[in-house]
Amino acid sequence: MNNTITDVNNNDEININVNNNDEINNDEINNNNDESINNNNNKNDFLKPYKPNLSIEEEKDYKNTANNIIRRDDDNQWVKIQGWSNELLFYSKVFQYFGEIIKDKEGMLGWWIIMISSFSSFITLFSLDPFSLTEINNIYYNWAKSVILAIFSLTTTLIAAWIKKKGYINRIQIIDKRINRLERFLGKLDYQSRLVPYDKKIDYFEFIKEVHDEYTELSIYTDILRPAEFTYTVYLITRFNSPMVVNTWPWYDTKKKTPRRKFSQNFINIYEKQYSFWSDYCPCEVNIDRYNELLNNIDANVKT
């Protein structure tokens, strides 16, 4: 019995020694692997961090150019370009909306001419000859037919004369050309003031001298829109089409990116007091103001 116990103890001691030897061997292997990896890293240039081989003075110059950008004399002047952009973008929005208004009017009137002409052709070709009408009924029919055709002809002539008098087609072409010029000019301003690399910018005063005449021409709108039309268009945009002027001056503060609600509300009130009549006879229009971001803080009223 004692012999068996001693054998078991001896076996346990042997197992413990074997385990300890295994742990020591594993640690040595891991240490050797770490050392080999470190040695390989030191030998492999690809894994080393890149350090430029610069002299002391070259390193100083490198740090100066990286940290200290040479400022231009006209840096403060380029801020003024933002004023030009705001004004011309405002005119562009007004022209776009007014152009859509007169396009809709011209399209509607043109459609009326097409429908009236079609009805006139139908009545002209329509005949009751196959039916046996009395002489008096035939006289009445021909008389009514001639009256209707005369009315249709008169209406078509008046509509065509109205379109010509208003000059819708010519004005649409002029407005489209002006919008195209405004967008190209705004693109030029944006490129020089914001997108062009700093060291590639041309001199501010040379740029102003180059584009001043074009800016002056584009900033004049009275040769295209009458003041009443301009005011009416701004009113429609402010009250009914606020999404199309997001972050656009004068509806928004372009620096803070927030709506100028006082300006919008005052403009609407002044216009309706002077020109509008539908707010008195159509109370339902007032409900639209609840969803106008230019008049109310919609985010604060949204239920979450």
Residue 226: pLDDT over 50: yes
pLDDT tens digits for range 119-161: 999 988 887 777 777 888 888 888 999 999 999 999 999 999 9
C-alpha dihedral, 262 to 268 to 273 to 275, nearest 10°: 150
Q: What percent of the chain has pLDDT over 90?
A: 29
Spatial distance between the Cα atoms of 224 and 95, rounded to a whole number of angstroms:
9
pLDDT tens digits for range 6-49: 444 444 444 444 444 454 444 544 445 454 445 544 444 444 44
Is the model more confident about 61 or about 186? 186
Residue 76 confidence (pLDDT): 67
**What ranges do the domains of the chain cover?**
24-68, 78-224, 226-304
Angle at 172 between CA 88 and CA 223, to 5 degrees: 55
pTM: 0.65
